[in-house]
Amino acid sequence: MEKKINVLIVDDSAIARQTIKEVLSSDPAIGDIVTAPDPIIAFKKIEKDVPDVIILDVEMPRMDGITFLQKIMSQHPMPVIMCSALTEKGCETTLKALEYGAVDIITKPKVGVKLFFKESQILLCDSVKAAARARIKRVPPGAMPRQVEKKLTADVVLPPPTGKAMIRTTERIVAVGASTGGTEALRIFLEELPLDCPGVVIVQHMPEHFTRAFADRLNTLCRIEVKEAADGDSVLRGRALIGPGNRHILLKRSGARYFVEVRDGPLVCRHRPSVDVLFRSAARYAGSNAVGVIMTGMGDDGARGMLEMKEAGAATIAQDEASSVVFGMPNEAIKRNAVDRILPLGSIAGAVLRECLR
């Protein structure tokens, strides 16, 4: 019998603490749930009993959540989920938290907190279970940093591929999917790409408004252009497009031009954007001209779509278990025989470039 996950909730809102505790208590995989109104009290509780996962607010009295996170990750690393309100400042702050070692972000509205957490029961419980499985590394002190009743497939957004792969052309595209741990994995992958690399389209499970700040930050670090995708953006050499949070992103083709369509739609595999939707569109419109990459993440989003890409003639690559924060998504694709190559994170960019030269 698997050990139950013990959780520490650190939030200055009594309503948030109580509601999160009630929601988590409904999951049989989650055990003891302890709460603290600020980081100072949280430190004392950790000294008595170390939790498996911490859910951490950003703005709190006596010590802010980012400072607390830095201290935890430099002294006693453990899985931390940031829980933040969506403000422009908060958006940048929580992205910095990912650099400091947080494994996930849950957006908390300024009003309607109780209703939000009850409606997001599956998301919250899945995030805690993913965090508990994460491989956490010590971060040096000075380092820079919805509930869905039915699990829908990509069929609700676009029909399956016809089964006939497109004729190989000289222009290639790369479709990438990631979730928990993906913000750091994508940075490492994209920093390795040269200015003339094939166009890249990315789904990273991330809340609305966070993807633009995430893309802007990567754009300052990488040689290639990185931007949050807008409907109709061309997929060009030396450019990576990241699907906006809460919108699906699809690859499309008109003649020799690849472009993206950004649209609303139901959650697919409990996500929007969904990796399955992106991968299916790549299978339909790029076929053997595509390379698919599935990275670290909880769940199975992308596994079916990657199989469709492979069946359409695309090359497919999965991040290996040792370098994944959570091996869920890559492992599900591997189990479906959807993957040609299983590689450590540091080898993926080179492999993608070699595939695109074939």
Residues that are catalytic: 179, 205, 301
| Surface-to-core class of residue 195, CB atoms within 10 Å of its CB (0-12 exposed, 13-18 middle, 19+ buried) | exposed
Dihedral sign for Cα atoms in the order 124, 282, 338, 347: negative
Q: Positive or negative, the Cα torsion across 60, 11, 179, 46?
A: positive
- The tokens for 64 are 């802010």
From the list 298, 228, 213, 200, the residue with the least C-alpha distance to 192 is 200
The closest of 264, 199, 181 to 238, measured between CA atoms, is 199
**Alpha helix segments (H runs only) across 26-120:** 39-48, 65-75, 88-100, 113-119
**How many CB atoms lie under 10 A from the CB of residue 256?**
8
Which helix (H) or strand (E) segment holds residue 204: the answer is strand 199-204
Handedness of CA 296, 357, 280, 243 (dihedral sign): positive
Task: Give the integer Cα–Cα distance in Å for 256 and 321.
Answer: 37
Q: How far apart are the first and last CA of the chain?
A: 48
Looking at residue 198, what DSSP letter applies?
P
Peptide bond preceding 160: is omega within 30 degrees of 0, i.e. cis? no
Nearest to 316 by CA among 284, 287, 291, 286: 291
Contact indicator for 17, 37 with CB cutoff of 8 Å: yes
